[in-house]
Structure 1
Amino acid sequence: MSFIAGAALVADGESFKSPGTSDFWWPLIGGDSNWAITRPAVVFLVSALLIGWFFVTVTGKKLSVVPSKRQFMAEGVYGFVRNTIGRDIIGSKDFLRFLPLLLTCFTLILFNNVAGIIPFIQYPSTGRIAFPIVLTVIVYITYHVAAVKAKGGFGKYMGSLIPPGLPGWLKPIMFVLEFLTYFIIRPLTLALRLFGNMMAGHLMLLVFIVGGEYLLLHGGNIGLNGAGVLSFAAAIVMTFFELLIEFLQAFIFTMLAALYIADAVSDHH
């Protein structure tokens, strides 16, 4: 959030109003309607177009042995996702067909995470729960479709949830636990982990920035004014820390997606 938007969170007079979830609704078109087009939605759409344009224009022309800066960047991101996440986790036999999904997830999430510290945007689109849910649904469908095909049908896939060799009385219990894990817990935690970290990180930065501004302008004495300066300094330090978290969350989401897909296409449960 920009400093102008941050200043709007400070109430009139001497009282301080802490930021909350109501301060993150920024409709550009549609006002308070549930179908409003918001700034995070526009940022997410623009990021998808920019990422697509970047990779298409880089790979659409002849690649050189000595890469340009753009080619070097594209090859670095592609190589990282391909080798570190795709091949190492899913395996050399199956990873290529899932590589477009993994590369898209990583780059899209990373861009929208980093939007949280880009001036004049300063809000991570993934801090809105709808975006992690949509990405998770895509991974969820991909994972289960791959599992059904790999196991030879839906019935065999359901049967694979029960490890062989269990006593008869334990099989129903294990089936329920595995069903909850694969169909509910995994997608739920995948979406909430990304959303929670991005929202919490942004709220933390916002509190230090808005609080520092309030103390600096309305503190009333040198001690509180100094605390405002320290609050701004802490916000700068935490911005660099937040950049690390933003990268890690993109990596973790993509890595978990690869782990789930690897489990789906494996010969054993």
Structure 2
Amino acid sequence: MNKLYMLLGIIGSAFFLVANSTNPPDGHTGAPGEIFCANCHSSNGSSLAGTISVEDFPASITPDETYTLTVVNRNTNGGGAKAGFQMTILGPLNTKAGDMSMPSANSATSMLNGRQYFEHHPAVVYTDSVAKWTVLWKAPALAAGSVITWYANGIIANGNLKNTGDKTTSSKGTGTVILAATQNVAAEAPPTIYPNPGSGMIHIELPDQVSPSGQVIFYDISGKMVSQTKIEEGVVDTPDLPPGIYLLQFRNGDRSYLARWSKI
């Protein structure tokens, strides 16, 4: 009976390792609230070395722009057999930021608990000690100034079909949402909003006592656009939003303004 249990354990372990090599379990990027690949892969006694990075992630992000991102797994000492990775992209409140699509060969996207992942599918053999995967990323419509962070974990595997002797590595990077290139952010004193806190009708006045007209966009505290309405000569009939803190974005001429407002 003990031999039977041992055999079943070996079979189960082999299945787990093959499954991870084919498609890793989500939630292993090292992002807030997640674990690392090292939780499954032991590097004890490993002589392997390497890095994981995401190339072409923009330092300045334009909302709704689509970027091509390249995940690069480098085996710096040339001893690795196979390469794997997993990454995710999160916004200011550590929630999914944007959408990844069109993964390259031997990679895939998936969803878990509201987060999106880009990962190997399956692990690949190194070419000149480097493995690369690409994906399209459409930036989210977050408020200007929102910081977006990518988290990546990589595996440099020794190819022994076990979870021992592998090297795990992690990294992260950030970009900041900006306005479209044709817009300018006013550097002068911020606009005045009153009543603030308030509800219903509000008034917006610029530093030069001008009352703007046009469109005003409401973002929630996470930087997500939640509504858009008109502003007429500085007067805004606020949309039906729950109480909370909002960031308002509006234009006057060729300048764009941001202002914080609390609804009660």
Larger radius of gyration: 2
More helix by share: 1
TM > 0.5 = no
Give TM-score scaled by structure 2 length.
0.23
Give TM-score scaled by structure 1 length.
0.22
